[in-house]
């Protein structure tokens, strides 16, 4: 007999329990206890009244595995309608990722590398960083990792620019409405704390694994958080006296936003861009689990096949890429800082 039989006998719920009792498949723990000749109630221990334990006493109570099955069924039920909406909406993301991947890998190395060096010089105007970037990409070329590194880079570029494009307006809206901020902050907290693998699970069901938007969405969801947060923070931190002066001289909200708030929040916004780049780099490695090309694939191969050298070299490549992106974005940040006194 089960431990909690008395509960249902005493409260007169026995009839309800047995009413539609159907012999359900045995759970693993039941099976194990049978094998071990243990009826589960021996001894004077009082098992925690979990769903499984209560199910033994009353068949009408669902087992724990029904909960996870319920979540799954629920998701599958809305999957089609969700897909119907999201599929066309996110299709451009697939095109952009495909396009960027194609452009970077199809172009010959003697176009891509000088182009990257030139862009670095334009955005940073720092000789040291430009030389470093040139050295890094030549190194990738020498060890035959140029193509995968460029794949990773192109995914990051697409995802980061989309994150900024979406994140900055959201951040601006948040900074103007305390209510929106109260709604958004828990969502951002959740996006930031959710283990990065968990993003992939529902996405795999929604889209086919061969579609680039699958990992594109995962990366953007993960990387958009800092740009939203820092845009919101940056605008809220703009000197109240300056805003008051702008109001006192009769600026419209639009003039205030474009002429005062955004320029003065720019250092914080750029710090957000830097964080967003770093986070998409972190995610693009994990996204190789769902067919994102690039250095992550090699890391994954290192783990799967215990190819130590392949994994470590690819990992080192990711570090180099991270340093390049970090230095470039920080140097660019310094140049746009309107109050930067060292200019």
Partner 1 sequence: MTSSKIQIKNLYKIFGTNPESVLPLVREQGLGKPELLAGHAHVLGLQNINIDMQAGEITVIMGLSGSGKSTLIRHLNRLIEPTAGEIMLDGQDVMTMNSDQVRRLRQKSMSMVFQNFALLPHRSVLQNAATAPIIRGIDTAEAEKTARTWLDRVGLAGVENHHPWQLSGGMQQRVGIARALSADSDVLLMDEAFSALDPLIRTDMQDLLLTLQTELQKTIVFITHDLDEALKLADHLVILKDGAVVQQDSPQKVVMNPADPYIEEFVGDINRARVLRAGTIATSGTPEGHMVGEVDANDTLETVIALAAGRTTACVTVVDNGKTVGKIEMRDLLSALVPYKSNNQS
Question: Residue 247 interacts with partner 1 (CB under 8 A)?
Answer: yes
CB of 340 to partner 1, least distance (A): 10
# residues near partner 1 by CB under 8 A: 20
Q: ∠318-120-330 over CA atoms, to 5°?
A: 70
- Smallest separation, CB 251 to partner 1 (Å): 5
Give the separation between CA 3 and CA 40, rounded to whole angstroms.
9
Shortest distance (Å) from residue 17 CB to partner 1: 55
Site string for partner 1, 184-223 (x = CB under 8 A): ----------------------------------------
State in angstroms the smallest separation of the CB of 241 from partner 1: 4
Q: Which is nearer to partner 1, 10 or 341 (CB)?
A: 341
Smallest distance from the beta carbon of 326 to partner 1, in angstroms? 25
Question: Which residue in the set 58, 220, 223, 260 belongs to the binding site for partner 1 (CB under 8 A)?
Answer: 260
The answer to whether the beta carbons of residues 282 and 338 sit under 8 Å apart is no
| Residue given tokens 């955005």 in the structure block | 123
Q: What are phi and psi of 334, to 5 degrees?
A: -60, -35
Residue 185 or 243: the one with the smaller Cβ distance to partner 1 is 243
Q: Is 74 exposed, middle or buried (0-12, 13-18, 19+ CB in 10 A)?
A: exposed
Site for partner 1 contains 254 (CB under 8 A):
no
Binders of partner 1 among 262-301, rule CB under 8 A? 263-264
- Alpha-carbon distance 40 to 118, whole Å? 72
* Pair 155, 291: CB distance under 8 Å: no
Task: Report the residue from 250, 254, 306, 309 that binds partner 1 according to the rule CB under 8 A.
Answer: 250
Name which position in 136, 173, 204, 251 contacts partner 1 (CB under 8 A). Answer: 251
Q: Does 341 bind partner 1 (CB under 8 A)?
A: yes
* 27 φψ region: left (φ > 0), alpha (ψ -120 to 50), beta (else): beta
Nearest to 113 by CA among 135, 128, 144: 135
* Cβ closest to partner 1, residue 251 vs residue 310: 251
Taking CB under 8 A as the rule, does residue 255 contact partner 1? yes
Distance of alpha carbon 289 from alpha carbon 302, whole angstroms: 13
Judged by CB under 8 A, does residue 242 bind partner 1?
yes
What is residue 61's DSSP assignment?
S
Shortest Cβ 330–partner 1 spacing (Å): 19
**Which one among 239, 258, 308, 312 touches partner 1, defined by CB under 8 A?**
239
- 252 makes contact with partner 1 (CB under 8 A): yes
End-to-end CA distance of the chain: 82
Positive or negative, the CA dihedral 95, 97, 98, 99 is positive
DSSP classification of residue 25: P
339 binds partner 1 (CB under 8 A): yes
Integer Cα distance of 30 and 56 in angstroms = 9
Q: Which of 48, 249, 304, 342 binds partner 1 (CB under 8 A)?
A: 249
Least gap, CB of 122 to partner 1 (angstroms): 22
- Exposed/middle/buried for residue 85 (C-beta within 10 Å: 0-12, 13-18, 19+): exposed
List residues near partner 1 by CB under 8 A.
239, 241-242, 244-252, 255, 259-260, 263-264, 338-339, 341
């Amino acid at each position: 007999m089960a431990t909690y039989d008395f509960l249902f006998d005493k409260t007169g719920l026995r009839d309800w329990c047995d009413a539609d009792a159907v012999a359900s498949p045995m759970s693993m723990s039941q099976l194990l206890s049978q094998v071990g000749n243990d009826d589960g109630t021996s001894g004077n221990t009082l098992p925690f009244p979990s769903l499984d334990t209560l199910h033994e006493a009353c068949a009408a109570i669902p087992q724990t595995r029904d909960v996870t099955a319920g979540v799954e069924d629920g998701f599958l039920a809305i999957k089609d309608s969700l897909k119907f909406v999201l599929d066309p909406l996110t299709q451009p993301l697939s095109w952009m990722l495909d396009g960027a991947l194609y452009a970077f890998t199809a172009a010959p190395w003697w176009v891509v590398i000088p182009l990257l060096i030139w862009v670095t010089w334009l955005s940073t105007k720092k000789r040291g960083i430009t030389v470093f970037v040139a050295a890094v990409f030549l190194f990738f070329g020498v060890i035959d990792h140029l193509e995968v590194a460029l794949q990773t880079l192109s995914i990051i570029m697409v995802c980061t620019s989309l994150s900024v494009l979406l994140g900055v307006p959201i951040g601006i809206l948040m900074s103007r409405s305390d209510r929106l901020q109260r709604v958004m902050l828990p969502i951002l907290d959740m996006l930031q704390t959710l283990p990065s693998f968990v993003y992939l699970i529902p996405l795999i069901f929604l889209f086919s694994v061969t579609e680039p938007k699958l990992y594109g969405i995962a990366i953007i969801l993960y990387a958009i958080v800092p740009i939203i947060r820092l845009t919101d923070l940056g605008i809220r931190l703009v000197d109240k006296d300056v805003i008051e002066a702008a109001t006192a001289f009769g600026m419209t909200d639009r003039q205030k936003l474009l002429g005062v708030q955004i320029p003065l929040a720019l250092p914080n916004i750029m710090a957000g861009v830097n964080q967003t780049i770093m986070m998409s780099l972190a995610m693009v490695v994990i996204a190789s689990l769902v067919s994102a090309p690039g250095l992550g694939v090699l890391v994954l191969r290192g783990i799967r096949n215990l190819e130590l050298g392949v994994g470590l070299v690819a990992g080192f490549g990711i570090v180099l890429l991270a340093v390049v992106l970090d230095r470039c974005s920080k140097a660019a940040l310094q140049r746009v800082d309107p109050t930067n006194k060292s200019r």
